[in-house]
Amino acid sequence: MFSIVVFGSIVNEGYLNSASEGEEFCIYNRNPNACSYGVAVGVLAFLTCLLYLALDVYFPQISSVKDRKKAVLSDIGVSAFWAFLWFVGFCYLANQWQVSKPKDNPLNEGTDAARAAIAFSFFSIFTWAGQAMLAFQRYQIGADSALFSQDYMDPSQDSSMPYAPYVEPNTGPDPAGMGGTYQQPANAFDTEPQGYQSQGY
């Protein structure tokens, strides 16, 4: 919202018409670079906000831990960078507004818009700096929370999955239905001699 106010104010009322010269000039000390900087930073900051808003929506679907860390680190870097750009823009616009000559704008046209652009440039510094701090805190707590722990695990490589025991394939007729499983005879290790037992008929 702050970026919209900045570039919207400059585009709508940041250029004045000179009756004597018949051409438009920037309200900030007739410096076209000042108006161009304010418009460019405002538009690019707005597009950056939309980009990271889409990234926040897509973030829960990112399964890779490395990709999540890269997204949070990029959020930190980009937010800090834009805080710096807004600081430069605030100083630049405020300086050019301060040295503007009253004779260039005797009717004080667009002065409220010019001051609004400077004010919201100042507010944007703290907005982006606060966003960078929040992203840094998000990165710090990420290792101890579910943020960086929901990595994708291939089910075929999961060691916790139980496997069926190996059964030797049956190579011949198995009347007992043992499926090739070897069974030790009950008297295999019985060393005591067994006497003859008569069988009754």
Separation of CA 45 from chain center: 16
25 near 18, Cβ under 8 Å? yes
Helices (H), 59-176: 65-98, 111-142
Q: Copy the structure tokens of residue 152.
A: 């994708």
pLDDT band for position 61 (cuts 50, 70, 90): confident
pLDDT of 13 higher than 80: yes
Q: Note the pLDDT tens digit of each residue in 100-140.
A: 888 877 677 878 888 999 999 999 999 999 999 988 888 88
Q: What is the pLDDT of residue 122?
A: 94
Map residue 15 onto helix, strand or coil: strand
Q: Note the pLDDT tens digit of each residue in 69-93.
A: 888 888 899 999 999 999 999 999 9
pLDDT band for position 154 (cuts 50, 70, 90): very low
Strand partners, 24: 17
Query: Could you give the count of Cα atoms lying within 13 Å of 4 in the half-sphere of its Cβ?
Result: 3
CA distance 166 to 13: 81
Q: Note the pLDDT tens digit of each residue in 15-46.
A: 887 766 667 888 898 888 999 999 999 999 99
Q: What is the pTM of this model?
A: 0.65
99 near 64, Cβ under 8 Å? no
